[in-house]
Structure 1
Amino acid sequence: MDRDKIAKLISNRLTRGKELLKQQYDKSKNKIGYFYIDNLLPAEIVNEIDNQFPYQNIEVVNCIKHICGIENLQPDEYLYAGGISSMKKNQFLNPHLDNSHDKDRNRWRVLNLLYYVTPNWNDENGGHLELWPNGLKKKQITLYSKFNRLVVMATHQLSWHSVSPVLVDSYRNCVSNYYFSNSPLRLNDKFHVTTFRGRPEQIITNQILKTDSFLRMSIRRLLRKGLRKIYMYTKRRINFC
């Protein structure tokens, strides 16, 4: 099955659940908008997924555009920061904001797409997405990294999120992609680099990470595109067996 056929399966699944997904996103969008959908694809296809997963197909983009109500939604042709993450036991991500723009700082990053592909991944295994819509001093929302689940979340200057520690001797795999727009989701958003913070109980870690973010932001004010060349994906057609 080729990428276009897989994209058609995804868009059909999103279309069938469109109204409920839109309600889910609308209910949360005043803080960190998100929705998730389970059983996105047949299991045999999920098991064959690699880093060329067809999120960037325009039909899929249009489905998500209508669910989230973002008219000027654009795919990430070059998979900037997209790909596969594989986290093993004791690995985690602290609360953070993703960087606000594409590599050239021309477009705003507005949506994260996270697709979980580890078979038989149980809730007690950890490695789950956490959203902090009320700030890092309030309780987070946990979205479990269930097999064949797609999570779509808004990204802006207040969309703090994290990944809880993986608790088992196994790998939690996730395919990640991003969508962009010519304008930010929040009118008062400003350019920022990826910014990490400590968890509520990590007071010293939090101060260290704040200093790190300040230094990296200072560099980007001087060097618009940073210190090093960013790897760019070259598009090619992939067939899934």
Structure 2
Amino acid sequence: MMATMQETGIMTMMAGKIKLPVSTAELQQQYKNAKPFPHLVIDNMFPDEVLDGVLNEIPPLTDDKWVHERRERLAKSNLRSAVEFEEKGYQFSAFVNSAKFLYLLTELTDIWSLLPDPYMGGAGFHVVPKGGKFDVHADRNIDQNTGLRRRLAMLTYLNKNWKPEYGGQLELWDTTGSRCERVVEPIFNRTVIFEVADQNFHGVRPVLVEDRARMSFAAYFHTVPDEKFIPHASVYAPTFYDRRDPLRKRIANEVIPPVVYRVVRWAKGKK
């Protein structure tokens, strides 16, 4: 009875803002039983008009608000900071980081005491242009600003009239990172929620079309780490792991704060 009352209360508070295909209790069972690791794929979770407003505010990639990551394993662009959001983006970010939404995520995943990330570290708008990709990996498990443990990732796709031949699909891989077990098309108003864990490998297929970019809004949710927690950066699947990187470089990527690491790289480039 208590769980039913709690679920009803949460969804009542979300009226007009969230739509779920079945009850939160059913979705929690789907999440826990999903293969290859706990996740949900929910279509039309948010009102279309809300995401239309968010989509219309994405700045052009020529704007200096973007950080462009172009590496061997990763090619995508992230908004530089959450303070760059315009009004609709700010409202959406505030909503998904609100207490109501955190309680909803707890109902969906059974992960309690979730914490928001108003700084949107590594989150916010993600844009993958032609040729862009993200090799198979398990996510960084720590927020570098707060030191909190990442527990959940949420991706909401903003791609209207997206076709399979455009590429950009999300792949979910087995715990060894050797076999793709689910492919998710990045269509408009499709939301993917999955657990961040060391063996939860996933990746993004290359985008194949010249005149389209794969766009999404990403958010991470956290808990306080316990004494057994071991922080790490993204872990790439064995078949993509580049052992040519010097050991000292891999260690630097793991332990040096990003701001310091970027300053060191800039200083070397000026010599």
Asked if these proteins are the same fold (TM beyond 0.5), I'd say yes
1:138 to 155, 171, 179: 179
What are the residue-to-residue correspondences of 1:1-241 with 2, within 5 Å?
Answer: 8=14, 12-14=18-20, 17-28=23-34, 32-49=37-54, 50=57, 51-52=89-90, 53-54=92-93, 55-104=96-145, 106-169=147-210, 170-183=212-225, 190-197=230-237, 200=239, 206-208=240-242, 210-212=243-245, 214-219=247-252, 223=256, 225-228=257-260
In structure 1, the residue matched to 2:60 is none
Which structure ranks higher in relative contact order (CA pairs < 8 Å, sequence separation ≥ 6)? 1
Gap regions ≥5 residues in structure 1: 1-6, 201-205, 231-241
CA pair 229-79 structure 1, distance change in 2 beyond 3 A: farther
2:26 counterpart SS class: helix
Q: Distance in 1 between matches of 2:103 and 2:145?
A: 24
Gaps of 5+ in 2: 1-12, 58-88, 263-271
1:141 Cα offset (Å): 1.5
Q: Distance in 1 between matches of 2:177 and 2:199?
A: 10
The DSSP-based 3-state class of the residue aligned with 2:19 is: helix
The residue type paired with residue 35 of structure 1 is: L
SS state at 2:260 partner: coil
Instruction: Tell which structure's C-alpha radius of gyration is larger.
Output: 2
Q: What is the identity, as a one-letter code, of the residue corresponding to 1:19?
A: A
Do the aligned partners of residues 25 and 212 (structure 1) sit closer, same or farther apart at CA in structure 2, a change above 3 Å counting?
farther
Displacement of 1:108:
0.6
Aligned in 2, Cα 1:192/1:123: closer, same or farther, shift over 3 Å?
A: same
Q: Distance in 1 between matches of 2:140 and 2:176?
A: 18
User: Between the two proteins, what is the percent identity of the paired residues?
Assistant: 23
CA–CA distance in 1 between the matches of 2:51 and 2:173? 29
Q: Distance in 2 between matches of 1:64 and 1:10?
A: 17
The residue type equivalent to 1:45 in the other structure is V
In the aligned structure 2, how far is the partner of 1:10 from the partner of 1:166?
34
What is the rounded CA distance, in whole Å, between the counterparts of 1:15 and 1:58 in structure 2? 22
Aligned residues: 213
1:186-233 CA distances to partner (integer Å, 9 max, x unpaired)? x976211123346x4xxxxx352x45495455226764x355389xxx
Greater helix fraction, Structure 1 or Structure 2? 2
1:123 is displaced (CA, Å) by 2.6
Q: Secondary structure at the match of 2:131?
A: coil
TM-align CA RMSD: 2.9
Q: 1:215 to 1:97 in 2, by over 3 A?
A: farther
Distance 1:14 1:74 in 2: 22
Structure 2 SS opposite 1:228: helix
Partner-residue secondary structure (3-state), 2:203: strand
